[in-house]
Amino acid sequence: MKTIIFNKHKFQISKEGILFWFDKQIAIISDLHLEKGSSFGHSGQFLPPYDSEMTLRKLLKGIKNQNIKKVILLGDTFHDENAFNRMSEKAFFLFNSLIKNYEVIFILGNHENKLKINHINLLNEYVIDDIHFIHQALQKSIFQISGHFHPVATIKSSIKKITAKCLLHTNNHIILPSFGTYTGGLNINDPALKPFVNHKSYVYMLTKKSIYKFTSREVET
């Protein structure tokens, strides 16, 4: 894991894309997009329907034995309004295990505007110690931890070019990578992310082997 100091608090990012706030016993994850695979079936694009199971197993494994009591999901937990109803029995069992064993905070994502699930309350934001947990970053001078953009970055060496999911840490923002199995990514140099990137920004690239920290100037434009 790599340590990130944000608003005088210590966070740690895992190579799987889970942000831990161990002092508060909190794990923070964004953009699971459960049932994205099954959503493609309606348009005739058939993908293996196991992405929800894979994503939830990875999440539960990532927080197991980490002394975590609360999980904050930063929105787009579900890919669309009917995603929950399409979950397989195995996926539902894993999801139920998550909400039974942890206090789970659900932030409302842009894919979830019409989503309604009994006993699940979707919040626009959640605030702890002046840190605002929201789905999409805002151009406001408040400390924010968000997701939505699915940031990725590219590093070019003399041998090859590497593109990977990343966490973006800049001024008063932390923008998390997407966690879902079928989620793509948006390069941090895309115009949509430009308002949140400057010469003091740091990029934490997440690979299967390790986490690599760069300044925004070091990643390829």
User: Could you read off the pLDDT of 159-204 as tens digits, one per residue?
Assistant: 778 889 999 998 899 999 999 877 888 999 899 998 998 888 999 9
pLDDT category of residue 88 using cuts at 50, 70 and 90: confident
Given CA atoms 50, 51, 52, 58 in this order, what sign does their dihedral have? positive
pLDDT above 90 coverage of the chain, percent: 58
Residues 89-104 pLDDT 10s: 899 999 999 999 999 9
**Short-list 187, 179, 194, CA closest to 153:** 187
Looking at per-residue confidence, does 29 or 52 come out higher?
29
132-141, 152-161, 182-191, 206-215: segment of lowest average pLDDT: 152-161
**Short-list 144, 130, 201, CA closest to 172:** 144
42-46, 123-127, 202-206, 212-216: segment of lowest average pLDDT: 42-46
Q: What whole-number distance in Å separates Cα of residue 175 and Cα of residue 182?
A: 19
pLDDT category of residue 147 using cuts at 50, 70 and 90: very high
pLDDT at 98: 95
Domains and CATH numbers, the chain: 2-215 (3.60.21)
Residues 110-119 pLDDT 10s: 867 777 777 8
Q: What whole-number distance in Å separates Cα of residue 176 and Cα of residue 191?
A: 17
**Residue carrying structure tokens 């986490």:** 211
Residues 45-79 pLDDT 10s: 555 666 889 999 999 999 999 999 999 999 889 86
Q: What whole-number distance in Å separates Cα of residue 145 and Cα of residue 163?
A: 23
